[in-house]
Structure 1
Amino acid sequence: MWTHAPWQGRFVPHRLPPGERLRAYASWCNAVEGNTTFYAIPARGTVETWADQTDPDFRFVLKLPRSITHERRLGDVGAELRSFLHAIEPLGPRAHALWIQLPPAFAPADVGVLAGFLRRLPPSHRYAVEVRHRAFFENESATRLLEKALAGVGAEWIPFDTTALFQTPPTSDMEREAWTKKPRVARRTVALTDRPIVRYIGRDSVDRTVEGWRGWADQVAQWLREGRSPTVFIHTPDNADALLLARRFHDDVRARLPEVEPLPEPMRAPSEPPTLF
């Protein structure tokens, strides 16, 4: 996500070499979703450049390759998993969690397969699971079944909150596209570990996006009071303003909990300061 085209020249300088693009992003936000690892295992040398561009406390939440989660459905994946873990090793503590995003067809009947897979994973990493089957959000016994499997190995459940997106009909092409691709499930605010992870998607409208996350700002402040260390990713259908919105969410949490440290001043493109208004 750190090379999103609409950010170039607006938030970060144009035509940065590959070895500097993540560094520019990391001046704005202190965590990133590793979506590219879903499509292919990165070269270890590439991952070394990621480590070089970020501080040790920067957080990567890296998605396991789809060959593991979607094609082989967590079965007979030893070789792919070893290759993936070897590739990301240079990140060290920056690999905050390995993200197991499961396909929409992964149902409560498949939880036993997931539990077995999680038990075989090396304890050197933290793991977080995202499910999209509606039964996990609507059926209490399915919810408890998954929570038990995750809690047994100290894994987290990543909620993808799309409730703001689906609250009213879409008003733009990007919102209409998001309606066809994003899961329509109930909001979940339960943390299973001391490192909860939240994915939130709002609307093209800044005001509606901010209004939709107010409950999350309250929840994150409460988690911090409890001694947890949450990670929150802010999306919109086009993600054009995502960097500014992420920092605004951080400020909203600080308004509720002033002892939270502010984010550092970001690297900016050589132009007028970007604004949400």
Structure 2
Amino acid sequence: MRLHVGCAMWSLKSWQGRFIPASGTDRLRSYAGWCNAVEGNTTFYATPTLATVSGWAAQAPADFRFVLKLPREVTHGAALSDISGMSEFLRVIEPLGPRIHALWVQLPGSFGPGDLPALARFLRLLPDSFRYAVEVRDPAFFHHPRHLEDLLGTVGAEWVPFDTTEFFRTPPTSDAERDAWLKKPRMPLRTDALTDRPIIRYLGRDATGRTVEGWRKWVPIVAGWLREGRSPTFFVHTPDNADAPELCRRFHDEVRALVPDLEPLPPPPPASSLEPEGPPTLF
């Protein structure tokens, strides 16, 4: 029984000196002391080098999990019709081994139910050595989910919902919220799991109270999945993400209050370990 929690990144300027070091290259290692999973959004924009991924593997504990987004050239540029870039992507992520929880197929809002045959062909061409998770952004899928559910069921893939209902419940009150208001998708709520590894992306507000209020519906759902023998992953987003690692641990604690057999997360690293050694220098 395991609950993975994490953020959209492992390094953020506002985290420096609080969750991760202010300098150095071991930020993933420090982040992994707070959370046990991360969204691999960077792989959407560019395929990393093998050396870069080997560095990630060296910093991430064996029980840490990556949900890696497929390159945008595949999911957006080629609309799933050209998978030539996948072979290089799969080659460079090999050092992560079992730390790869799932490969994440995020599709654009222009991808609708009529495009499902393309998704079916694409998923059947992918190697079965990985687990796959699909995120769609056309609301039509949520109103009539059966066709997508049946397709994902044939290949054992998960449907990743992005819960933005709390975020859009009231107008924004900060610059970060106003920016997210324009960029984040307004998605219908979905709380069903298709596999033994459900993945939830949740967007709260800058105010901690609002973020916690919005995830309260998820706490018993995730607890129920754990009791069923599933291994869920819950990603916490807020517009500024300033407190996201701490919020992840709070969500884990709330679920564990309902499922006492769930192993607690290890204590986070002490703040003293995040401070640079010695005085700053010019060289």
Indicate the TM-score class for this superposition, using the shorter chain for normalisation: over 0.9
Alpha-carbon distance, 1:95 to partner: 0.6
Distance 2:18 2:58 in 1: 24
**Aligned sequence identity (%):** 64
- Mapping of 1:17-166 within 5 angstroms? 17-18=24-25, 20-77=26-83, 79-138=84-143, 140=144, 143-166=145-168
Aligned positions, number = 266
Deviations 1:134-154 (A, max 9, x none): 11112x2xx111111111100
Distance 1:92 1:13 in 2: 26
After TM superposition, the runs of 4+ consecutive aligned structure 1 residues lying more than 4 A away are none
Alpha-carbon distance, 1:268 to partner: 3.5
Alpha-carbon distance, 1:173 to partner: 1.2
Alpha-carbon distance, 1:271 to partner: 9.4
- Structure 2 counterpart of 1:2, one-letter code: W
Alpha-carbon distance, 1:40 to partner: 0.4
2:17 is matched with 9
Alpha-carbon distance, 1:176 to partner: 1.1
1:275 is matched with none
1:264 is matched with 266
Alpha-carbon distance, 1:183 to partner: 0.9
**8 Å contact from structure 1 (residues 13, 269) kept in 2:** no
- Structure 2 counterpart of 1:235, one-letter code: H
Deviations 1:182-202 (A, max 9, x none): 111111011000000000010
Deviations 1:38-67 (A, max 9, x none): 000010111111111112221000000000
SS of alignment partner, residue 100 of structure 1? strand
Unaligned runs of 5+ in 1: 273-277
Task: Please tell me the root mean square deviation across aligned C-alpha atoms, in Å.
Answer: 1.2
- Mapping of 1:190-269 within 5 angstroms? 190-269=192-271
**8 Å contact from structure 1 (residues 12, 268) kept in 2:** no
Deviations 1:62-97 (A, max 9, x none): 0000000000011122x2000000010000000110
Distance 2:187 2:56 in 1: 33
Unaligned runs of 5+ in 2: 1-8, 275-283
Distance 1:255 1:211 in 2: 16
Deviations 1:189-233 (A, max 9, x none): 110000000000100111111010011111100000000000000
Q: TM-score, normalised by structure 2?
A: 0.92
**Structure with more relative contact order (C-alpha pairs < 8 Å, separation 6 or more):** 2
- Structure 2 counterpart of 1:270, one-letter code: S
- Structure 2 counterpart of 1:4, one-letter code: L
**8 Å contact from structure 1 (residues 10, 271) kept in 2:** no
Alpha-carbon distance, 1:269 to partner: 2.9
**8 Å contact from structure 2 (residues 158, 195) kept in 1:** yes
**8 Å contact from structure 1 (residues 62, 95) kept in 2:** yes
SS of alignment partner, residue 152 of structure 1? helix
Distance 2:125 2:239 in 1: 36
- Structure 2 counterpart of 1:96, one-letter code: H
**8 Å contact from structure 1 (residues 13, 270) kept in 2:** no
Q: TM-score, normalised by structure 1?
A: 0.94
